[in-house]
Chains A and B, each alone.
Chain A
Amino acid sequence: MDDVNGVELTVFLIFFAAVTVMGFLAARWRRGQTIMHLDEWGLGGRRFGTFTTWFLLGGDLYTAYTFIAVPAAVFASGAMGFWALPYAAIAYPIVFLIGPRLWSVSHVHGYVTTADFVRGRFGSRTLGLAVAVTGILAMMPYIALQLVGIQAVLTVMGVKGSGLARDLPLLIAFALLAAYTFTSGLRAPALIAFVKDTLIYLVIIVAVIYIPTKLGGWGHIFDSAQSSLAKPNPATGRPSGALVTGDMTHWAYGTLALGSALALFIYPHTVTGALASGRRDVIKRNAALLPAYSLLLGLLALLGYMALARPDVAAAVRAAKNPQLAVPTLFDHVFPGWFAGVAFAAIGVGALVPAAIMSIAASNLFTRNVYTAFFRPGATAAEETRVSQFVSLLVKIGALVFVLAFDKTLSINLQLLGGIWIVQTFPSLGLGLYTRWFHRWALLAGWAVAMVYGTVTAYEQHSPTQKHFAQSTADIPFLGHPGYIALTAFVINMIVVMVLTVIFRAAGVPDGTDETRPGDYTADADEPGVTDLPELVTD
Chain B
Amino acid sequence: MSDPRSTSPAVRVVVAVLLIAPFVVYLAVPSYARVEPRLAGFPFFYWWQLLWVILTAVFIGVAYRLSRRARPARPADEEDD
B70 at the interface (CB under 8 A from A): no
Interface 1/0 per residue, B54-68 and A, CB below 8 Å: 101111110110011
> Does A495 belong to the interface (CB within 8 Å)?
no
Interface size class of B (residues with CB under 8 A): 35 or more
Q: Write the nearest CB–CB distance from B33 to chain A, whole angstroms.
A: 5
Chain A residue at minimal CB-CB distance from B75: A526
Q: Is the CB of A49 within 8 A of B80?
A: yes
Residues in B whose Cβ lies below 8 Å from that of A79: 33, 45
Q: Does A243 contact B (CB under 8 A)?
A: yes
The reply to whether the CB of A257 lies closer than 8 angstroms to some CB of chain B is yes
The docked-state distance in angstroms from the alpha carbon of A279 to that of B29 is 37
| Closest-CB distance, A58 to chain B (whole angstroms) | 14
Cβ contacts under 8 Å, B45 to chain A: 79, 82, 243-245
A94-109, CB < 8 A from B: 96-97, 100
Q: Of the candidates B41, B57, B60, which one forms a contact with A222 in the assembled complex, judged by CB atoms under 8 Å apart?
A: B41
Which residue in chain A gives the minimum CB-CB distance to B6? A522
- Does A100 contact B53, Cβ atoms closer than 8 Å? no
User: In the complex, what residues of B have CB within 8 A of residue A254's CB?
Assistant: 26-27, 29
B61 surroundings in chain A (CB, below 8 A): 288
State in angstroms the CA–CA spacing of A220 and B43 once bound together: 11
Cβ A90 vs Cβ B22 within 8 A? yes
Known A50-B79, A85-B50; contact A244-B34, beta-carbon cutoff 8 A: yes
Q: How far is the CB of A223 from chain B (nearest CB, A)?
A: 9
Is A431 interfacial (CB-CB < 8 Å)?
no
Interface residue from B2, B3, B57 paired with A289 (Cβ < 8 Å): B57
> Are B43 and A244 interface neighbours, CB within 8 A?
yes
For B57, the closest partner residue in chain A by CB is A291
Q: How many of chain A's residues have a CB under 8 angstroms from any CB in B?
A: 51
Contact of B27 among A243, A258, A522 (CB under 8 A): A258
Complex: A527 Cα to B66 Cα, angstroms:
21
Binds B, one of A167-175, A294-302, A320-328, A402-410: A294-302
Chain A residues closer than 8 Å to B27, beta-carbon distance: 86, 90, 254, 257-258
B33 & A52 in contact (Cβ 8 Å cutoff): no
Q: Does A520 contact B (CB under 8 A)?
A: no
A104 to B2, CA, bound (A): 11
Tell me, yes or no, whether A271 is within 8 Å of chain B by CB.
Answer: no
Task: Please report the C-alpha to C-alpha distance between residue A524 and residue B45 in the assembled complex, in whole angstroms.
Answer: 41
A387-413 interface code vs B (CB 8 A; 1 in, 0 out) = 000000000000000000000000000
- Taking the complex as formed, is A292 at the interface, i.e. its CB lies under 8 A from any CB of chain B? yes
When distances are taken between beta carbons in the complex, the residues of chain B under 8 Å from A281 are 68, 77
B26-52 with Cβ < 8 A to chain A: 26-27, 29-30, 33-35, 38, 40-43, 45-46, 49-50, 52
Tell whether, in the assembled complex, residue B63 and residue A51 are in contact, meaning their CB atoms are under 8 Å apart: no
B56 to A90, Cβ gap below 8 A?
yes
- A100 touching B2, Cβ below 8 Å: yes
State whether the Cβ of B11 lies closer than 8 Å to any Cβ in chain A: no
Chain B residues whose CB sits within 8 angstroms of the CB of A294 once the complex forms: 53, 56
On whether the beta carbons of B29 and A96 are closer than 8 Å, the reply is: no
Q: For A298, give its contact among B53, B58, B79 (CB under 8 Å).
A: B53
Give Cα A127 to B50, complex, Å.
Answer: 39
Say yes or no: A97 contacts B19, CB within 8 Å: yes
- Residues from chain A with a CB closer than 8 A to the CB of B43 are 222, 243-244
A278 near B: Cβ within 8 Å? Answer: yes
Q: How far does the alpha carbon of A401 sit from the alpha carbon of B43 in the complex, in Å?
A: 41
Question: In whole angstroms, what is the CA distance A534 to B43 when docked?
Answer: 53
Residue pairs across A and B with Cβ atoms less than 8 A apart, 21 shown, are A79-B45, A90-B22, A90-B26, A100-B2, A217-B41, A243-B35, A243-B43, A245-B33, A250-B30, A250-B33, A251-B29, A253-B29, A254-B27, A254-B29, A258-B23, A285-B64, A288-B61, A291-B57, A292-B57, A522-B2, A522-B3
Q: Closest 8 CB pairs between A and B?
A: A219-B41, A218-B41, A291-B57, A86-B26, A288-B61, A93-B19, A250-B29, A288-B60
